[in-house]
A and B are shown apart, each in its own frame.
Chain A
Amino acid sequence: MSLPKVNAVVVGSGAGGAVAAKCLSAAGLRVVLLERGPQVNAGQATHDILHSQYDTSGELGCGPALAANPRTYRLTPEQRARRIYPNQGGYGRTAACTGGGTPPYGCMAWRFAEKDFRLKSLYGVPAGTTVEDWPISYQDLEPYYTQAEYEIGISGRAGANPFEAPRSQPYPLPPLPYDRGGRVFARGARALGLHPFPLPLAILSRPYDGRPACIHCNACERFLCEVNAKSAMHATLIPKALATGLCELRTGCMARELRVDARGRARAVAYHGPDGQLQEQPADLVIVACSATETCRLLLNSKSKLFPEGLANRQGQVGRHIMDHTGGAGLPGFFAQPIYQPSGPGFTAAVADFVHARGAPLNGSMIATMAELRQPLAFAENCGGRFGTHPWGLRAKQFVRHYFRRTVGLYAPGIGLPTENNRVDLDPEVRDAWGIPVLRVTHRAHPLEVRSSYFFRNRMIEILRAAGAIEALLPRPASEAEIERAASHIRWGGLGEHQVGGCRMGRDPKTSVLNANCQAHEVENLFVADGSSFPSIGGFNPSLTIQANAYRVSAYIAREWRGGAFRT
């Protein structure tokens, strides 16, 4: 069934799609915003980890539904891919609900470093990788970072991070104060001559834009916020888009394919409505923002006579150069004194001294405190076991009882690189509950990512030791020989929630899917507004950069929009 034509369809209501829907409807375009998941709101918030976005054995609080959304995964192209589900490692999930990944996310709101946009120029192309520069610079994105910080509501202190790229405006809100874990971390970092600072967070430290300040409840990362102090898209930009009167949100709608006209322009989005029926929504423009993995899947599934290998994929670039923070590392430090306090968000401090500096592989990354181990279940699963075995028995119980309150967890996203073999494509056999071919993820960590992981593990050991963590419970720093061995036998990989790339933006249509405005080289009225356009990932959580880039792309579309068909 074909529906009345609109100006633009935005597929996906997450960090990128919500920005596009808000900007385009504010600019006067009639917009339909499609979201595969259900509507979520603060009233559905829970403090129950078993119904949150943590990987438990059951369904994820914000989706996607496990059985309905399989994928397949393999380490290398030679292997046979095995079926995996969204609560398993390597799948590369983002939440499926209004706001995409943002309702349960941890809210870190980083700007990338200036050098993150010029990786190839600065470091060359390491063997086996496809590292590339961005076609835009940090300066091109800066005004949109500022716009995102103000419209979305970010708390932080300008200049607190001495390594931060130049900014035109301070943050709209002061930072959240350090909690005890943050103070312990900052003490250790300062003792080593590092420069700790309060994390930039998409969590309101003061009332802002009609929403209340954080109430410091104990269920933040991987939980819905019960008061909408988290600046997630379902609480911020989606209501603003709807308030224009020009944007219609349709939830429970799973996009199946994009359809083209005789001239190869995007004509309509075919999607399954909540009742499973296939609908067709025609539009002048299509903006895809389904997350790096799902955007690639939608384009690859959009096969036609003019695009037999998928839309905008004549050069076979869709699904390539996809990456995540595979070099990530997390480490707990156990202390003699109690540190835990039952108040959130549980992550408040960071250092950025190792970003593009101090011997870190390539771009390096920040190091921050994390909330993961502040849940008894997560703590019991991850701590207290000898290496290679599950924590169980009386000793494990005693460890959990004593150290749950005496722990500071640190996390570094590490580096992530696009490589020649890593990609997503369509699995030849497996289909999802809608009968749509699912993604086959081929991903193995690059040796430099493994080095990054050990490098940051060693730095975290130093910081925790300087902060006074119990020496006997800290792992021994890895030696160069151990790192070398690990980097030569890599058996791990897989995508996570920071997935970016897959529809790279660039100047050369042979090696990129999108131009610098994130417009498909091959399809003039097709844009991509999520992280799949990123040529590199940086050493930071990517959501604010996805949002800033979506503001930039939307500003371009609004500027060039002439009514009716889109011209370049």
Chain B
Amino acid sequence: MPDTGITRRKFIGLLGAAGMPRSARRRGARAGTAKQKAAPGYQALTAEQVSTLTAFAEQMIPADADAGAREAGVGHYIDHILAGAQRSKLPRYAAGLAALDQTARSLHGRKFAQCTFQQQTALCQALEQGRAPGAAWRKISGQRFFTLAWRHVLEGYYGAPANGGNAGYASWHMTGFLPPRRRRAVKR
């Protein structure tokens, strides 16, 4: 907004003093930082949350010849938005990831990230269809958490690298969204 010198984001912040945006922000900030320490290299998520989240993300987009979600840095993208613009969603992540681990423990005796790939897949399917077992999902809808995290994984993997994910433009080269990399030197 060149004529007043206030950026759009600041403008929203100013308005927030009157209404909802600020309260939402405060709630998010407290849940994220008060008790637990963020993992090294992360701003909002703890080491435990990162390991569960990246295992979930790898289920959404597994590695093959092209990078999977973990290698493409999707965890960093989600951490980045949960520490910034979408910090109000951090409590939902904290609850959802904890519930995912709790369900994995009750079914397989291990945390989600330590389950086999097939066990994780089955759990994700149950989550997507709203039939994941466990009392933990009474606090947060498994289906809603799946949709939220699935969408964020896709954003991190297929969005621009400047947002923290899609490391090395992995998905853009994979799809051909970018012009193909030049293989040979220009002919003379």
Contact = CB atoms under 8 A, between A and B. Distances in A.
Interface of A: 37-39, 41, 47-50, 56-59, 63, 65, 67-68, 70, 218, 249, 251-252, 274-276, 338, 340, 342, 375-377, 379-381, 389-390, 392-394, 396-398, 400-401, 404-405, 431-435
A144 B151 CA distance: 44
Given A49-B159, A275-B14, A400 B1 contact: no
A48 B159 contact: yes
B121 to A, nearest CB: 7
Contact of A397 (B61, B121, B162): B61
Interface residues of B, number: 52
18 contacts: A50-B155, A50-B160, A57-B155, A65-B21, A67-B16, A218-B177, A274-B6, A276-B18, A376-B158, A377-B154, A377-B155, A394-B62, A398-B64, A431-B19, A433-B12, A433-B21, A434-B19, A435-B19
A218 B160 CA distance: 14
A3 B166 CA distance: 51
Interface in B66-103: 66, 81, 85-86
Interface stretch (B32-40, B44-52, B168-176): B168-176
Contacts of B3: 39, 249, 251
Contacts of B86: 57-58
Contacts of B12: 65, 67-68, 433
Contacts of B152: 57
B4 A59 contact: no
A400 B24 CA distance: 36
A396 B179 CA distance: 22
B186 interface: no
Nearest to A404: B175
A342 B19 contact: no
Nearest to B177: A376
Interface string B1-24: 111101010011011111111001
A435 B15 CA distance: 10
B70 to A, nearest CB: 13
Nearest to B21: A67
A390 B155 contact: no
Instruction: Count chain A CB atoms within 10 A of each CB in B121, B171, B175 and give the residue with the most.
Output: B175
B61 A342 contact: no
B113 interface: no
B124 A392 contact: yes
B43 interface: no
Contact of A38 (B8, B129, B147, B160): B8
A396 B160 CA distance: 20
Given A274-B1, A274-B4, 14 more contacts: A39-B3, A57-B86, A57-B155, A65-B8, A65-B12, A67-B16, A67-B24, A338-B176, A380-B154, A392-B150, A393-B60, A433-B12, A433-B18, A434-B18
A57 B151 contact: yes
B13 to A, nearest CB: 10
B1 A252 contact: yes
Given A380-B154, A390-B146, A405 B176 contact: yes
Nearest to B14: A276
A67 B158 contact: no
B163 interface: yes
Contacts of A59: 85
B107 to A, nearest CB: 19
Interface string B97-119: 00000000000000000000000
Given A50-B160, A274-B6, A392-B150, A433 B20 contact: yes
Contact of A47 (B4, B155, B160): B160
B155 A393 contact: no
Contacts of B162: 48
Interface in B127-161: 128-129, 146-148, 150-152, 154-155, 157-160
A381 B147 CA distance: 11
A432 to B, nearest CB: 7
A57 B155 CA distance: 8
Contacts of B128: 389-390, 392
B178 interface: yes
A380 B150 CA distance: 11
Contacts of B61: 392, 396-397
A252 B175 contact: no
A39 B2 contact: yes
A39 B6 CA distance: 11
Contacts of A70: 20
Contacts of B15: 65, 68, 276, 433-434
Contacts of B1: 38-39, 251-252, 274
Contacts of A274: 1, 4, 6, 11, 14
Nearest to A402: B175
A68 B172 CA distance: 34
Contacts of A432: 19
A401 B8 contact: no
Nearest to A275: B14
A-B interface, 3 closest residue pairs, ranked by CB to CB distance from nearest: A38-B1, A404-B175, A377-B158
A68 B21 contact: yes
A37 B1 CA distance: 9
A404 B8 contact: no
Given A65-B12, A392-B59, A340 B176 contact: yes
A275 B121 CA distance: 51
A376 B171 contact: yes
A252 B14 CA distance: 12
Contacts of B21: 65, 67-68, 433
B160 A48 contact: yes
A109 B156 CA distance: 34
Contacts of B129: 389
Nearest to A401: B174
Contact of B60 (A41, A67, A375, A392): A392
A48 B163 contact: yes
A340 B178 CA distance: 11
B54 to A, nearest CB: 15
B76 to A, nearest CB: 14
Given A380-B158, A390-B150, A394-B64, A38 B11 contact: yes
A177 to B, nearest CB: 19
Contacts of A397: 61-62, 64, 66
Nearest to B121: A393
Instruction: Count chain A CB atoms within 10 A of each CB in B20, B59, B86 and give the residue with the most.
Output: B20
Nearest to B84: A58
A259 to B, nearest CB: 22
A376 B151 contact: no
A277 to B, nearest CB: 11
B150 A252 contact: no
A503 B107 CA distance: 59
Contacts of A389: 128-129
A255 to B, nearest CB: 15
